[in-house]
Structure 1
Amino acid sequence: MQRPKVIALSDYRRQRDGEALHPKLGQAAGTEHWFVLYWRYWAESLDRLDAYLTKLKELKMALDNLKIDAPANEPIVIATRDFAAPRALVWKVMTQREHVARWWGTEGQKNVITALDVRPGGKWRIESHAADGNVYIFVGEYREVSEPEKFVWTFGMENMFFGKTLVETHTFEEDGAVTHYKSVSNYDSIEDRDGMVASGMEKGMRHGFAVMDQLLAELAQEA
């Protein structure tokens, strides 16, 4: 039995675009062999995949867009950043213990979450163990929770910032396959705000958001 001639995928793409294929491939005038149709289907599918992967690559490059603004005359810090994930997943990564423990702090820190009660009045507490042996303990209370659009909490550190109240509002806006995240941190004074900015806040945020990207990719594969 004579085997059908194998035609390169590029030939089928040319045929799809109006160029003639080998005449022996046709079963009859105006009728295409089944594997011509088969390969045409895959050629078109691969073209769509190429376009999709290119779009994903461009999207990933565009989403590394953390912006931090510290207005001169207001004791606040505004941070915005986009995530290539649905809002429900971004909310999960920012409010569930197993995920927060992975992205919190700077690179090399190990985190132990002793409280994360995501409801109005609920407490949160995170022990962050640095490589040099120091332990930094972050604490606060949820004041408002509206899943998955918004949460407001207080932010502090045990044995530090006595008498200071830092209130942060975190909002999540979904736009197709992208979530626009925004946080507004309110300080008691501009001096307090400037001290936090100078402490390396941006470095910690960039590291945390990069880890969140990895977590979101993992969760998307599991869904």
Structure 2
Amino acid sequence: MTKQDLGNEATKVVAENDELLIERTFAAPRDLVWAAMTSAEHLARWIGPHGTTTEVVEMDVRPGGGWKWINKYDGGSVTFAGEYLEVEPPTRLVRTTAPEDGPAGPPAVETITFEEVEGGTRVHWVTRFPSAEVLEFAISAGMAKGIIEQFERLADLLAQ
């Protein structure tokens, strides 16, 4: 896949080869951003595009622990699940991720880092997909729009 810039002014989203880079700075302390991304209670309030509700089924935030949530929207739902590979509070998470109803094959691997910067916390999120074709499919299904919207929801939650 050739490089595609898919983000907006607030959220950088870049797809290239088999990687998707997401980056955004949130006006909140790192511990708060970490908590919003690792607490089932908080995650259910922001993960997924606008109009989505999320049920967190499992969230065992430790190396080897599993996670699973169901994004529900008008007319259906999508279940995502994976395993935490690395957990270094409050600076780094590495986990696998895949839709449960998706094609068979290896999951994507997400590496999320949290960096204190002037004015807040920069989240740097890289997802390595099993292939460029799998990433292209995800982009064609609206993934970039969903990412931007869920980060808008996270920014609103952090502002409360």
Relative to the length of structure 2, the TM-score reads: 0.90
Residue 153 of structure 1: CA displacement? Answer: 0.4
State the distance in 1 between where 2:152 and 2:12 align: 14
**Percent of aligned pairs with the same residue?**
38
Contact conserved, 2:50 with 2:153, CA < 8 A, in 1?
no
Question: What's 1:69 paired with?
Answer: 14
Residue 154 of structure 1: CA displacement? Answer: 0.4
* 1:92 equivalent among 35, 42, 46: 35
Higher helix share: 1
Residue 176 of structure 1: CA displacement? Answer: 3.3
Higher strand share: 2
Q: RCO (CA 8 Å, sep 6+): is it higher in 1 or 2?
A: 2
Aligned partner of 2:108: which letter? L
Deviations 1:52-82 (A, max 9, x none): xxxxxxxxxxxx52111122xx311111111
Question: What's 2:114 paired with?
Answer: 172
Contact conserved, 2:78 with 2:101, CA < 8 A, in 1?
no
Task: Return 5+ residue gaps in structure 1 as ranges.
Answer: 1-63, 219-223
* 1:82 equivalent among 7, 22, 25: 25
Partner SS for 1:119: coil
Question: What's 1:187 paired with?
Answer: 129
Aligned partner of 2:10: which letter? N
Partner SS for 2:43: helix
Deviations 1:134-182 (A, max 9, x none): 1211101100000000000000111312113200100010013321111
Contact conserved, 1:103 with 1:207, CA < 8 A, in 2?
no
Aligned partner of 1:150: which letter? R
Instruction: Point out 4+ residue stretches in structure 1 off by more than 4 angstroms.
Output: none
Task: Return 5+ residue gaps in structure 2 as ranges.
Answer: 1-8
State the distance in 1 between where 2:149 and 2:60 align: 24
Question: What's 2:105 paired with?
Answer: 163
* 1:205 equivalent among 105, 125, 147: 147
Contact conserved, 2:70 with 2:80, CA < 8 A, in 1?
yes
Structure 1 residue 123 corresponds to structure 2 residue 66: yes
Partner SS for 2:90: coil
Question: What's 2:88 paired with?
Answer: 146
Partner SS for 1:118: coil
Question: What's 2:157 paired with?
Answer: 215
Q: How many residues align?
A: 153
Contact conserved, 1:154 with 1:168, CA < 8 A, in 2?
yes
Name which one, 1 or 2, has greater alpha-carbon Rg: 1
Relative to the length of structure 1, the TM-score reads: 0.65
Aligned partner of 2:14: which letter? D
